[in-house]
Amino acid sequence: MFKRFPDAIFGEGVMVVGEDRFYPGKRLFIDHRAYLNCAGGLWNGYRGYIRLGDNVEIGPYCVLWGAGGITIGSNVHIGAHVSISAHEARQIPPSKTDTFTPLEFDFAPVIIEDHVLICSGTVIVPGVKIGHHAMIGGGSVVTKDIPPYALAAGCPARVLRSNGPDVAGSTLAVDSAGGWDPLNLSGSGPE
Q: Do residues 147 and 159 make contact, with C-beta atoms less than 8 angstroms apart?
A: yes
User: Catalytic residue at 77?
Assistant: no
Question: Mind giving me the DSSP string for 54-67?
Answer: SS-EE-TT-EEE-T
Measured distance CA(173)–CA(111) in Å, rounded: 24
Paired sense of beta strands 28-30 and 57-58, if any? parallel
Phi, psi of 19 (to 5 degrees): -55, -30
Question: Mind giving me the DSSP string for 80-134?
Answer: TT-EEESEEEEE----SSSS--PPEEEE--EEE-SS-EE-TT-EE-TT-EE-TT-
Of 77, 81, 87, 115, the active-site residue reads 87
The HSE-up count of residue 181 (CA atoms within 13 Å, CB side) is 14
Q: Do residues 36 and 20 make contact, with C-beta atoms less than 8 angstroms apart?
A: no
The catalytic residue positions are 87
